[in-house]
Every structure is written in C-alpha cells, then in structure tokens.
Chain A
Amino acid sequence: MKPAPKHQRLVLVILAVAALIGAALLAMWGLSDRAAYFRTPQDIAAGRAQVGEPIRLGGMVKQGSIVRQPDGVSIAFVVTDGPADVPVRYRGIVPDLFKEGGGVVAEGRLERGNTFVADTILAKHDERYMPPQMGNIQAERQTRKTVAQ
C-alpha cells in the first residue's frame, strides 16, 4: 500500500478532484428539488408552479380575507398581486407586521386545487430606512395606554 514516491502528489491531486466532483454532484442533487422558487399569485394562476414543490409566495394580504379558525392558531387568508389571488392556510403564530393590505412572503407548498399551505410566514415591512424615532413620545404613550387597558 506504499505508493511510489512520484505518485504521491498525483494521488492527492486525484483525491482532491474526486472530492470536488463529489461536492458538485452533491450540491446539484440537493439543489435540484430543494431550492424554493419565488412565485407571485399570477405565476400560480398561469400554472408556473407545480403541486408539492417548495415555493416562496410573495404578494399582499387581500383586504378582508383573513379568517381565523376556531382553534385559535390557524388562519386562512388570500394573497393577491392584483390580477390573481391565491388562498393560503397557515397554522402558527403570525408575525406582528402581518396585516391585511400588508406585504407578505409565505414559504410552503401548493396543494391540489391551488391552495397554498404555508410553513412560514414572513411579513414584509422593512422600516430600516425610516426608523421612527422614539422622540415620538406620543406614540409611546399610546402604546402604554393600550397595553394598560
């Protein structure tokens, strides 16, 4: 099992190449069915999404569409981008910024009948370039009052 001295580097090089190819194959195998495509309701209406594949659905929560289920932790709502609507079901605690008329990204899968079942809900409401300062003491007082009530 002793390689001839001249072949030492060659063996290592071959090992490195094999590892690289292995990594590439592994990555390709993993990405082929695990990368989630970003879709809009229009994409889904146009049939650009398959049942069961992982999807990130982006759009707005349609006004008046949020329906809370009797168990207290499940909701149904409609994501819209104007021309098209997609009904969504979700079981879990929604983020605080999730509200009707607000932007939303839902991660999950499409079921038969084009209902979307979300595993994760992300509310899109970046305030990064507008952090309203807390010198806005009025807003703070209101918050306190609301909480105290």
Chain B
Amino acid sequence: MIAEAGLAALWLAAALALLQLGAAIAGPRVGDVRAVAVPTAVAQGVLTLFAFAMLIWLFVRTDLSVELVAANSHSMKPFIYRFSGAWGNHEGSMLLWVTVLAVAGAGLALVERRLPPETMRATLGAQAALALGFFGFLLIASNPFARLYPAPAEGQGLNPLLQDPGLAFHPPTLYLGYVGLSVAFSLAVGALITREVGPALARAMRPWVLGAWVLLTLGITAGSYWAYYELGWGGWWFWDPVENASLMPWLAATALLHSVNVLAARGGLRSWTIMLAVVAFSMSMVGTFLVRSGILTSVHSFAVDPERGSFILGLLVLYVGGALALFAARVGTVREGARFELVSREGALVANNLLLTVLLGVVFVGTLYPIFVEAATGDKISVGPPYFNAVSGPITLVLALLLFIGPLLNWRRDRRPNLRRIALPLVVTVLALAATFLADMSLLARLGLAFAAGLAVASLLPLAGRNLRRTPLATWGMVISHLGVAVALAGAASDTAFTRETLAAARPGEVLSVGPWSVRLAGVDPVAGPNWTAVEGHLVATRGGTTIRLDPQSRTFSDPPTETSEAAIRTLFDGQLYTVLGHREGERWQLRLWWKPFVTLIWLGGALIALGGALALVGRWWRGRRQRRSEEAFA
C-alpha cells in the first residue's frame, strides 16, 4: 500500500504540472494565472515530498516486495544506510531530483512577487514544463515503486563504497544545488519569452543562484573529501567524469553569480547573464545525463541503458535545445544594458566570466572528447588528470590574479584605479615566491603558493578603511568567499609541493619513515563490523615528542562481497598523516604512508567559499526584508 500511495502521489503531481503549464499558456484569458499556478505548484511540492517520504519508509522497513528495495537494500544493513539507500540508486535519486524540482517550483511560486506578471507567467510555465518532463521520465522509465513478484527472501545490498555517512548526504546536497539552478533557468526562459531582462529579473534570480551555488560548493567539497579518504589513493580530485559532472554546473553557476550582480546593480551584461542562466542548469542536466545514462563509462562499469539514456536525451533536446534556440532567436532583440568602461568593476567581472567560461569549456571538451574520438575514428581513449591539470592550472592562477584587483575597482568606470592598495598583496606575492625557492617544487605549485599568499591579503582589502560594523553582510560574504579561494589554493599547492610518500612492505615491529615521521607497524589483527570483516593494522607514528596511533583497515564486505581499504587519517595542525594497509606478502604487510602538510586547507577553503555565499544570501534577504518594511511603513 505504501508503494501504491507514493505512485499515486506522483501521478497526481504530474497531472497538476500539466494543469499549471496549461494555465500559463492559456494566460489571463482564463483568469488569474497566479490563482491557478501557485496552488498547483505548492501541491506538486507537497505530493512529491510525500512520495519521497514513502520511498524512504519502504527502505527503512526493507519491504522486499518492492523491486528497488530488493535490489539495493538488505535487512542486516545499519539503519542510516537503509535510510540513505533510498537515494543511493538510479530510481531513488531521480525521485529525489524531481522532488527538489517540484519543491523549488513551489518556493518560486510562493515567494517571487517583484517580477512583471507576464514574465512570472512565462516562468511558471517553463518550470511546469521542466517538472512535467521529469515526472514523465520517472513514471515511464524509472518507476521507483515497481513491485517484484515473488518477493525475494533477502535483498542484494548496497555497494560498500556507498556505505559511508559522508556519502549518504552528499548526493542530496548536490541535487539541491543542481535543481536550484532550474529556477534561474525558468526565469531566464520566462524573460526571453517576454523580453523583460533587467535588474528586477536579476534580483529575482540572485537568491536562487546564490543558494544553489552554496549547496554545489558544499557538495563538491564534501565529495572531494569523500574521494580522498574513501578511495585510499591519497588524491583529492581525480577528474572522473562523475566529478566533472558536478564541477561544470558549479563553474557556470560561479560565472552566473558574478554576472547576475552586474545585472542587478548596474543593468549591464543582459544577454550574457541570460545565457549563463540557461547554461548553468543545462550543465546540471547534461551532468545528470552523463552519469545516469552510463554513456561516459569508467572501467568500473559497462551498464549503458539505452532506454533511459534516450529518454533523458530527449528531455535535454527539448529543454536545453529549446532554451538555446530561444536564446539565439530572441536575445538580439533584448534591450542593450548599461554601458561601462573596460577598467571598472564590470570589466573585471567580464574577465572573470570569460575565464570561468573558458575553464568550463576545457573541462567540457576533455570530458566528452573520448566519445567524439571514438565516434570519429573508432579509437578508444581516456582523458585524465594530465590533461585537466595542465589546462585548468594556468587558468585558475590567472583567475586568482584577477581577484587581486577586481573587488577594488569602482562600478562603471575607474579612471584612476587605486594602485597603491594593490601594492601590499603584490609585495606579499613576490616575497612568498622568493620563499618558495627554499624548497624544490614544480612551477605550478610555486606560483600557487605565492598567489595564495597574495590573494589572502588582497581578499581582505575591500574591508580596509571601512567601518566593519556597518559593512553590509553581502560584502563580508564576498570577502570570505575570496579568502576561501586563497585558502583552498594554498592547500592544493601545498599538497602538490610538500607531500611525502612511502610505499613499502613491513614486518610487524618494523619502522618506516615518511617526511618527519617514523611509523612503526605494531601489529595486525582481525576485526569485524556489522556487515564486514577486516584486518586492521596498528601503526604508531612519532615525530619529536608527539606519538599518534593509526589503525588502517582492509575491509571485506559480505553483501555484495567486495573489499575496500579504509585509510586511517590523523589531522594535525600542520597537516595530515594518511595511512593505507595493503595486502599480506608472506610475513610482511604492504603499507602506503603519506605526510601531507596543510592539505586540509583545501576543504577548509571550500567551506569558507560556501560560508561566504551563505552570508551574502542572508545579508541580501535581511536587507530586502528591511526595505519592504520601510516601504510598507511609508505607505
């Protein structure tokens, strides 16, 4: 019954989406569009939330008569993974996607009151059309509530790699971000239909972009840390197609975030902002398509699903193709925005946008290049870190350099940019660069460290000479985000420059050294968990007077039978000690040890970037509320 209730809720929500679309198309002729669209949008949000809750309930109860539960869960699984198992699979994650889409649509319908009514009508229509397509995909090609007869005696379990508390909440965060961008997409399409592109649109779009961007930043940061400690390879970004699928919308959203500010504050960059809004959500959908259809397979999978792939591709053609065609046809007739000079805040933001777009372009090309090559020549190739690091490193450094000056420039024109203020960060950069020559490292790492030091100072300069109490929260947000970029850059460069690695086989009692540490293998013992068994190495690491113990494991899961290595990681103030236990070689055990100075700065920086975005979001909301209050008080 639970499954049937969930399915019924989905069908009802799909019907309501159709109604909302119809009302938006029919327009004022049939009455007040808002009066129809708002309740239908809210009802869709509630119904999909209900359906999603039903699916979670089925997973928690381990109802094996439902195919999806039988294929992905198991009654002996710990509670939290039965819970998160609901979205750890194709159908469940698509239901989550649709739920977020519907809830975002409801939020838009409820909250947005500043837009011209015609633009709002077109926007609600676009959002309904999006929802309708994904409802169709869910109900026709990915029904999460399908029954299985006869019910099996036991479920098949969840990939052990996914049995991790971090990962349980990683996909929902990313999905909230992806789908939050759908609102920006709908607003852009609505504005293209009515040709009403202006600051009002940007102000309506900004909180959604900001919110989605914060969640994407958090999701990517968390995903990077997950890959770092779970895969046991010591790296923090592998340029896997799945990672790139989340990075591409983030790059587009970052560009959009900056250009939407130009549109809101100055009325400039109209067509560019519209295009970025379309591209950002398109990248979310393309990313989902690439991951879900399996057309970009890694060596670990060859499950191409042509039916589902074709369905999502059809939706992509309809939405992305439609929006881009509308853009090509219409945007030429949008009124031109306010002008500005090249040396100005706008000019710097244009440069930022171009660089981010170039970065997006090279990641996109690299990710899809294997398909193009195989289609053209039949050669199978793979594009990996050597390409992505080589092309993205320099662009990132130029972006960082741009950050020195951009936030200090005035809007519209800056006749005499205050070059004295940028002297301090430049001096810091040069000093840091000189200091890097004390150690041996690659050029990219050298420049990364130097730029990070300079940027850390430069990012704080917009606060210099201001009354900090009266500085708007949005400015604080910008400063903290830019500081976060410097921190993350410092972490990445430090990891590249200073990491020390030792790979060896050791007898119990033997001592290995890695960087400043001496690591003794004290012993190896068997241990067992709820659904796994493992061998656990006991390591005692000493440096000066400090002694720490680490217990890396090599785990064997029984459902499905898979082995994973659980790295043991200890964070200290100046870095991380990262240890992996390998296989047994006679009396010896393989050990892989890393000493990674300041590597944690990477994720700390990511968190700071997200925190800055969150502050800006709260600040803008607070300000808007106060403004509305004072307007009301006037009236």
The reply to whether A and B meet directly (CB within 8 Å) is yes
Partner-B contacts on A (CB < 8 A): 1-3, 5, 8-9, 11-12, 15-16, 19-20, 22-24, 26-27, 29-31, 34-38, 54, 56, 68, 71-73, 91-94, 96-97, 105, 107, 122, 124, 126-136, 139-140, 143-144, 147-148
Q: Is B391 an interface residue (CB 8 A)?
A: yes
Q: Which of B272, B560, B580, B592 contacts A132 (CB 8 A)?
A: B560
A69 to chain B, nearest CB (A): 10
B208 to chain A, nearest CB (A): 25
Within residues 307 to 340 of chain B, which ones have a CB less than 8 A from any CB in chain A?
A: 336, 339-340
B444 to chain A, nearest CB (A): 14
**Cα-based distance from A50 to B183 in the complex (angstroms):** 50
B249 to chain A, nearest CB (A): 18
Q: Is B518 an interface residue (CB 8 A)?
A: no
Q: Is B164 an interface residue (CB 8 A)?
A: no
Pairwise interchain contact A133-B157, C-beta atoms closer than 8 A: yes
Q: Which B residues are CB-close (under 8 A) to A94?
A: 583
Give the 8 A-B residue pairs with the shortest CB-CB distance, closest first: A72-B505, A134-B559, A135-B154, A38-B380, A93-B582, A96-B563, A131-B560, A23-B361
B479 to chain A, nearest CB (A): 27
**Cα-based distance from A3 to B342 in the complex (angstroms):** 8
B407 to chain A, nearest CB (A): 20
Q: Which A residues are CB-close (under 8 A) to B157?
A: 131, 133-134
Q: Which of A9, A31, A130 contacts B366 (CB 8 A)?
A: A31
Query: A128 and B303 in contact (CB under 8 A), knowing A35-B383, A36-B384, A135-B154?
Result: yes
Map CB proximity to A onto B494-505 as digits: 1 under 8 Å, 0 otherwise.
000000000111
B361 to chain A, nearest CB (A): 4
Pairwise interchain contact B561-A132, C-beta atoms closer than 8 A: yes
B275 to chain A, nearest CB (A): 10
> Interface-forming stretch among B285-293, B431-439, B530-538, B599-607?
B530-538
Pairwise interchain contact A72-B384, C-beta atoms closer than 8 A: no
**Cα-based distance from A22 to B395 in the complex (angstroms):** 11
Q: What are 9 residue pairs bridging A and B, where the CB atoms are less than 8 Å apart in the complex?
A: A1-B342, A35-B382, A72-B586, A72-B590, A126-B302, A128-B303, A133-B152, A134-B74, A135-B153
Q: Which A residues are CB-close (under 8 A) to B582?
A: 73, 93
Q: Is B514 an interface residue (CB 8 A)?
A: no
Partner-A contacts on B (CB < 8 A): 71, 74, 76, 152-157, 159, 272, 299-303, 336, 339-343, 350, 354-355, 357-358, 361-362, 365-366, 369-370, 373, 379-384, 386-387, 390-391, 395, 413, 503-505, 526, 528, 531, 533-535, 554, 556, 558-563, 565, 580, 582-583, 585-586, 588, 590, 592
Q: Which B residues are CB-close (under 8 A) to A136?
A: 558
**Cα-based distance from A73 to B154 in the complex (angstroms):** 40
**Cα-based distance from A12 to B342 in the complex (angstroms):** 9
**Cα-based distance from A76 to B595 in the complex (angstroms):** 28
Pairwise interchain contact A36-B382, C-beta atoms closer than 8 A: yes
B530 to chain A, nearest CB (A): 11
Most chain B CB within a 10 A radius of its CB, from A11, A23, A38, A97: A23
Q: Which A residues are CB-close (under 8 A) to B272?
A: 12
Question: Once A and B bind, how many residue pairs between them come within 8 Å at the CB atom?
Answer: 175
Q: Which A residues are CB-close (under 8 A) to B560?
A: 127, 130-134
Pairwise interchain contact B379-A148, C-beta atoms closer than 8 A: no
Q: Which of B155, B354, B357, B358 contacts A26 (CB 8 A)?
A: B358
Q: Which A residues are CB-close (under 8 A) to B153?
A: 135
Interface of A is mostly: mixed
Pairwise interchain contact A15-B354, C-beta atoms closer than 8 A: yes
Pairwise interchain contact A37-B381, C-beta atoms closer than 8 A: yes
**Cα-based distance from A29 to B365 in the complex (angstroms):** 12
Most chain B CB within a 10 A radius of its CB, from A3, A19, A29: A19
B294 to chain A, nearest CB (A): 10
Q: Which A residues are CB-close (under 8 A) to B357?
A: 19, 23
B378 to chain A, nearest CB (A): 11
Q: Which residue of A lies closest to B154 (CB)?
A: A135
**Cα-based distance from A136 to B560 in the complex (angstroms):** 10
Query: A133 and B339 in contact (CB under 8 A), knowing A23-B362, A126-B301, A144-B533?
Result: no
A93 to chain B, nearest CB (A): 4
Q: Which A residues are CB-close (under 8 A) to B382?
A: 35-36, 38, 56, 107
Q: Which B residues are CB-close (under 8 A) to A143?
A: 533, 556, 558, 561
A5 to chain B, nearest CB (A): 6
Q: Which of B340, B358, B526, B535 contacts A23 (CB 8 A)?
A: B358
Q: Which B residues are CB-close (under 8 A) to A35?
A: 369-370, 373, 381-383, 387
Q: Which A residues are CB-close (under 8 A) to B340?
A: 8
Pairwise interchain contact A126-B381, C-beta atoms closer than 8 A: no
Q: Which of A9, A107, A133, A148 contacts B156 (CB 8 A)?
A: A133
**Cα-based distance from A58 to B377 in the complex (angstroms):** 19
Q: Which B residues are CB-close (under 8 A) to A127?
A: 560-562
Q: A23-B361, A27-B366, A35-B370 are in contact. List 8 more A-B contacts (CB 8 A).
A: A37-B380, A38-B380, A68-B585, A73-B585, A131-B159, A133-B157, A134-B157, A139-B558
B174 to chain A, nearest CB (A): 21
**Cα-based distance from A15 to B357 in the complex (angstroms):** 12
Q: Which residue of A lies closest to B585 (CB)?
A: A72
Q: Which of A9, A19, A31, A134 contacts B383 (CB 8 A)?
A: A31
Q: Which B residues are CB-close (under 8 A) to A36?
A: 381-384
Pairwise interchain contact A92-B558, C-beta atoms closer than 8 A: no
Q: Which A residues are CB-close (under 8 A) to B384?
A: 34, 36, 107
Q: Which residue of B lies closest to A144 (CB)?
A: B533
**Cα-based distance from A136 to B336 in the complex (angstroms):** 68
Q: Which residue of B lies closest to A148 (CB)?
A: B526
A140 to chain B, nearest CB (A): 4
A117 to chain B, nearest CB (A): 15
Pairwise interchain contact A73-B391, C-beta atoms closer than 8 A: no
Pairwise interchain contact B361-A20, C-beta atoms closer than 8 A: yes
Query: A19 and B358 in contact (CB under 8 A), knowing A93-B580, A148-B526?
Result: yes
Pairwise interchain contact B386-A133, C-beta atoms closer than 8 A: no
Q: Which B residues are CB-close (under 8 A) to A107?
A: 382, 384
Q: Which B residues are CB-close (under 8 A) to A30?
A: 362, 366, 387, 390-391
Query: A27 and B350 in contact (CB under 8 A), knowing A35-B381, A144-B528?
Result: no
B150 to chain A, nearest CB (A): 15
